């Protein structure tokens, strides 16, 4: 089973959106994949990180979508940190933008997900 990292706070700066995870989570050997999925049941965007032999799912729930919208609007970089380590998330905005456009009006993602995306983005 793959590990899951949950975003629990964000810091929006003029040139960067920082996604914060629990300080006990280890980022050490993880690498960004540049790929993102959607959890339509959990109303989250899910960025994939990888290490040598597995993926870790980093979930960005709806509560932080306004910060994602601002990052998209300003075209700023996005990173994740545990307070000690920090990883720049390659292709984050491109993947996010693609998913948002694909979800709008698309009932395959579930009615609630579509409504939330359309209301936020």
pLDDT in tens, 66-114: 999 999 999 999 999 999 999 999 999 999 999 999 999 999 999 999 9
* Length, in residues, of the chain: 121
Residue 60 forms beta bridges with which residues?
45
pLDDT of residue 52: 84
pTM for the structure as a whole: 0.95
Is residue 6 a contact partner of residue 63, using CB atoms and an 8 Å limit? no
Q: Sorting pLDDT into bands at 50, 70 and 90, what band is 2?
A: confident
Instruction: Give me the helix-helix angle, 111-120 and 65-74, nearest 10°.
Output: 50
pLDDT, one tens digit per residue, over 81-90 is 999 999 999 9
pLDDT for the residue 61: 98
Which pLDDT band, with edges at 50, 70 and 90, does 1 fall under? low
Closest CA to 17 of 95, 83, 72: 72
Return the pLDDT at 53: 86
DSSP 81-115: E-SS-EEE-TTHHHHHHHHHHHHTT-GGG-HHHHH
Residue numbers of the domain that contains 71? 3-120
Per-residue pLDDT tens for 15-33? 999 999 999 999 989 999 9
Domain count, the chain: 1
């Amino acid at each position: 089973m793959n590990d899951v990292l949950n975003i629990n706070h964000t810091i929006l700066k003029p040139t960067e959106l920082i996604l914060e995870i629990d300080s006990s989570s280890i980022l050490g050997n993880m690498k960004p994949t540049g790929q993102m999925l959607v959890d339509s049941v959990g109303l989250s965007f899910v960025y994939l990180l990888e290490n040598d032999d597995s993926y870790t799912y980093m979930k960005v729930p709806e509560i932080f979508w306004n910060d994602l919208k601002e990052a998209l609007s300003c075209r700023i970089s996005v990173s994740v940190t545990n307070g000690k380590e920090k990883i720049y998330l390659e292709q984050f905005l491109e993947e996010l933008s693609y998913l948002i456009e694909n979800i709008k009006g698309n009932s395959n993602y579930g009615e609630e997900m579509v409504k939330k995306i359309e209301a936020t983005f």
